[in-house]
């Protein structure tokens, strides 16, 4: 048993402590499995700047979807506190609302103290003295688990004033959201925490200098923060060796859809999508074949079976015309109509628009209306052209935030690879009428 634990610890930093019965790992068990050792080591023997440099050197990228370098993000925070009474914030983005994504929930429910230790280490590095976990409101079980884990950490002296006689002060609070997808955008999350409407903010100023209540603020994802303890404990060279690609470390990846074994697994960057689908998800269900797949959530472009041998990392998938996103892939079987599928996806994104900018507020419902017609075989001849124009109008740089550009990714890729299914939605009578008019 001990040999197994050591082996998994060396290759699976995020999941090696997981219990076989899948019950939550609470404080005592977590401490028996090297829990909070990295935190004690850091606040006793390292400076905040040294920790930032370690995370920079590790190459850790944000696991929320954007893939921005974590250490670089931390370094954007001001170097020093103006005074000891100044608040600086570390926010954990646990508002996991991306359809098809459930990795953060897994870490929260199984390993809450790994997340809390990651938050403490990150807060020490950016010299934050107050933190919030912004949790998706529907995660009722996660709310109970995190509240209990925070109490345990308080009782052990890891949260509060003068932690372990180090002079480091940090308070941590749990905040549950009201169920809005847009809160995944960090400035919308900040507005929501302040009690405001969850709209994205103008940038600059950036949260690192003017964030929560106008104070320096750093926002990181659950999976990102959960990586920090292992990096501090085992070093950057070890962390880099875990990967099979230029992206360092491991990643929670998986497949949902009509596969034989849907789920998620901690895997090295560089593994192929085919390996995950066939070796871990055990392939498509009997009688079905793979028609398309989304690499990392509903807001990523569809790819085809020809793309399955691509390496699962940020750059490779970007070059292929999609994004790694959350790396929780969705398999689409050959019996699924792409127009109906995209219609459901766009309905979600249209509903979740904050309504701040006109292209997103008006464009997404327009897309839904057209797709509804095509789905019911009542489309007009110009519908596909209109959808293509809307994809341009809602693309990167055309809207206030990345909500609309993400929303049109599945649409534009579905039209690219499965255009005939959209053409089949055009009303036959309308098509014949237009052809007769042209003939006249």
**2-241 domain in CATH 3.30.499.10?**
no
CA distance 256 to 327: 11
pLDDT tens digit sequence for 327-362 = 999 999 999 999 999 999 999 999 999 999 999 999
Strand order from edge to edge, sheet including 217-221: 171-176, 130-135, 89-94, 217-221
Check residue 431 and give its pLDDT: 56
Q: Residue 432: which pLDDT band, with cuts at 50, 70 and 90?
A: low
Range in 76-80, 327-331, 413-417, 425-429 the model is least confident about: 425-429
The pLDDT of 135-146, averaged and rounded, is: 96
With 50 as the cut, is the pLDDT of residue 291 above it? yes
Please enumerate in sequence order all residues whose Cβ is within 8 A of that of 151, keeping only pairs 6 or more positions apart, or say none. none
With 50 as the cut, is the pLDDT of residue 283 above it? yes
CB atoms within 10 A of CB 405: 18
With 50 as the cut, is the pLDDT of residue 436 above it? no
Q: Residue 243: which pLDDT band, with cuts at 50, 70 and 90?
A: very high
- Burial pattern 348-378, b for ≥16 Cβ within 10 A else e, equals bbbebbbebbebbbebbebbbebbbbbbeee
pLDDT tens digit sequence for 40-68 = 999 999 999 999 999 999 999 999 888 89
Check residue 126 and give its pLDDT: 96
Of 94, 57, 72, nearest to 225 by C-alpha is 94
The pLDDT of 291-315, averaged and rounded, is: 96
With 50 as the cut, is the pLDDT of residue 304 above it? yes
Question: Can you give the three-state secondary structure of 218-233, one letter per residue?
Answer: EEEEHHHHHHHHHHHH
**What kind of fold does domain 338-428 have according to CATH?**
de novo design (two linked rop proteins) (1.20.1440)
The dihedral through the CA atoms of 38, 59, 67, 254 has a sign that is negative
Of 183, 218, 196, nearest to 48 by C-alpha is 218
Check residue 10 and give its pLDDT: 83
Q: Residue 437: which pLDDT band, with cuts at 50, 70 and 90?
A: very low
- Percent of the chain scored above 90 by pLDDT? 90
With 70 as the cut, is the pLDDT of residue 132 above it? yes
Where do the domains of the chain lie?
Answer: 2-241, 250-333, 338-428
The dihedral through the CA atoms of 28, 34, 36, 41 has a sign that is positive
pLDDT tens digit sequence for 169-220 = 999 999 999 888 999 999 999 999 999 999 999 999 999 999 999 999 999 9
Alpha-helical (H) ranges within 59-172 are 70-75, 103-110, 112-126, 140-155
**What kind of fold does domain 250-333 have according to CATH?**
Ubiquitin-like (UB roll) (3.10.20)
Mean pLDDT of all residues in the chain?
93
CA distance 65 to 221: 9
Check residue 440 and give its pLDDT: 46
Alpha-helical (H) ranges within 169-235 are 186-193, 222-234
CA distance 223 to 386: 39
Check residue 5 and give its pLDDT: 47
Are the CB atoms for 155 and 149 separated by under 8 Å? no
Q: Tokens in use for 266?
A: 């901690």
CA distance 218 to 353: 24
Q: Which helix (H) or strand (E) holds 176?
A: strand 171-176
With 90 as the cut, is the pLDDT of residue 80 above it? no
CA distance 54 to 248: 13
The pLDDT of 401-430, averaged and rounded, is: 93
Check residue 83 and give its pLDDT: 65
Alpha-helical (H) ranges within 217-337 are 222-234, 236-241, 273-275, 314-319
Are the CB atoms for 171 and 153 separated by under 8 Å? no
CB atoms within 10 A of CB 241: 15
Q: Residue 84: which pLDDT band, with cuts at 50, 70 and 90?
A: low
Q: Is 211 exposed, middle or buried (0-12, 13-18, 19+ CB in 10 A)?
A: buried
Q: Residue 86: which pLDDT band, with cuts at 50, 70 and 90?
A: confident
With 90 as the cut, is the pLDDT of residue 141 above it? yes
pLDDT tens digit sequence for 101-115 = 999 999 999 999 999
- Burial pattern 19-35, b for ≥16 Cβ within 10 A else e, equals eeeeebbebeebeebbb
């Amino acid at each position: 048993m001990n040999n197994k634990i050591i082996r998994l610890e060396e290759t699976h930093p995020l999941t090696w402590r997981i219990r076989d019965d899948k019950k939550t790992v609470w404080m005592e068990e977590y401490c028996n499995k090297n829990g909070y050792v990295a935190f004690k080591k850091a606040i006793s023997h390292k400076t905040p700047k040294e920790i930032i440099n370690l995370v920079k050197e590790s190459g850790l990228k944000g696991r929320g979807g954007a893939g921005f370098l974590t250490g670089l993000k931390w370094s954007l925070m001001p170097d020093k506190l103006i005074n000891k009474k100044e608040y600086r914030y570390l926010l954990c983005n646990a508002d996991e609302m991306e359809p098809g994504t459930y990795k953060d929930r897994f870490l929260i429910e199984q390993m809450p103290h790994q997340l809390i230790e990651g938050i403490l280490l990150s807060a020490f590095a950016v010299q934050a003295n107050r933190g919030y976990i912004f949790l998706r409101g529907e995660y009722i079980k996660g709310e109970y688990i995190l509240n209990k884990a925070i109490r345990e950490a308080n009782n052990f002296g890891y949260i509060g004033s003068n932690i372990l006689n180090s002079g480091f002060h940090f308070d941590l609070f749990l905040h549950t959201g009201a169920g809005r997808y847009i809160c995944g955008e960090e400035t919308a999350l900040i507005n929501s925490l302040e009690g405001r409407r969850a709209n994205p903010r103008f940038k600059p100023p950036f949260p690192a200098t003017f964030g929560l209540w106008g104070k320096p603020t750093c926002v990181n994802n659950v999976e990102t923060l959960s990586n920090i303890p292992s990096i501090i404990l085992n070093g950057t060279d070890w962390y880099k060796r875990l990967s099979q690609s230029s992206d360092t470390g491991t990643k929670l990846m998986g497949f949902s859809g009509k596969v034989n074994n849907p789920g998620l697994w901690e895997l090295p960057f560089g593994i192929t999508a085919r390996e995950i689908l066939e070796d871990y998800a055990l392939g498509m269900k009997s009688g079905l074949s793979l028609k398309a797949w989304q690499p990392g959530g509903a807001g990523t472009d569809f790819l085809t079976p020809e793309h399955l041998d691509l390496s699962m990392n940020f750059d490779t998938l970007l070059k292929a015309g999609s994004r790694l996103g959350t790396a929780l892939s969705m398999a689409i079987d050959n019996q699924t109509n792409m127009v109906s599928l995209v219609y459901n996806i766009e309905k979600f994104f249209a509903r979740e628009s904050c309504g701040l900018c006109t292209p997103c507020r008006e464009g997404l419902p327009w897309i839904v209306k057209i797709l509804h017609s095509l789905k019911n075989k009542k489309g007009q001849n110009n519908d596909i052209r209109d959808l293509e124009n809307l994809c341009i109008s809602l693309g990167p740089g055309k809207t206030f935030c990345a909500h609309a550009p993400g929303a049109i990714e599945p649409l534009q890729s579905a039209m690219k690879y499965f255009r005939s299914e959209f053409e089949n939605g055009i009303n036959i009578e309308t098509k014949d009428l237009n052809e007769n008019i042209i003939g006249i």
